[in-house]
Chains A and B, each alone.
Chain A
Amino acid sequence: GAGVSQTPSNKVTEKGKYVELRCDPISGHTALYWYRQSLGQGPEFLIYFQGTGAADDSGLPNDRFFAVRPEGSVSTLKIQRTERGDSAVYLCASSRQGNQPQHFGDGTRLSIL
């Protein structure tokens, strides 16, 4: 498809487990962003990639969260030792270099039991 693709669309797991969330950006978009949206709130920034490198990871809440983008395209957000408070919709966005808005995927709804 032409848009940002996120998989899985839903993930339910038990507290303490490890999860990986995948984002496939729009082809040719060099900038990639992860956001987290809790119920009734606006999205909150987690991390920004320009190419393969994490240019800004100031939004990651703690060291249980980590993200990679090894080839400058697909990105994976990894959460270790999940907690119930990690339950949220995780959104990925991408944009083309140079003055273009961010385009969002449908998100992954993560539920920690």
Chain B
Amino acid sequence: AQKVTQAQTEISVVEKEDVTLDCVYETRDTTYYLFWYKQPPSGELVFLIRRNSFDEQNEISGRYSWNFQKSTSSFNFTITASQVVDSAVYFCALSGAPTGANSKLTFGKGITLSVRP
């Protein structure tokens, strides 16, 4: 069985602060995929990133960066110089494959990030 734990429930920061959102996962699959999605107040889930289990390189995209560590089963997400528009619920998710029968996503409970001006 797959499981995603997002221990933080709510985080509040002041604009321009850096913030890290934690994600810990459990799976028995040797090949798996990790995701982060953003859910703004409008409700739509917006895809941010996907990493596969064979690629532990950290990734940076603008103000966003991700740290994948298989040794600790973690896939953490850092927002640098946070902005008010970053306020949203952030979900970490896990799947066994990108397509096919094992492609369903298992989500964590989400972290509500509030960025104050």
Contact = CB atoms under 8 A, between A and B. Distances in A.
Given A101-B47, A102-B47, A104-B44, A95 B107 contact: no
Nearest to B37: A104
Contacts of A93: 45, 105
A7 B47 CA distance: 21
Which of B47, B50, B93 has most chain A Cβ within 10 Å?
Answer: B47
A89 B43 contact: yes
Contacts of A40: 109-110
Contacts of A97: 99
* Interface size classification for chain B: 20 to 34
Interface in B12-45: 35, 37, 42-45
Interface residues of A, number: 29
Contacts of A98: 98-99
B106 A45 contact: yes
A45 B104 contact: yes
Interface of B: 4, 35, 37, 42-47, 50, 91, 93, 98-101, 103-110
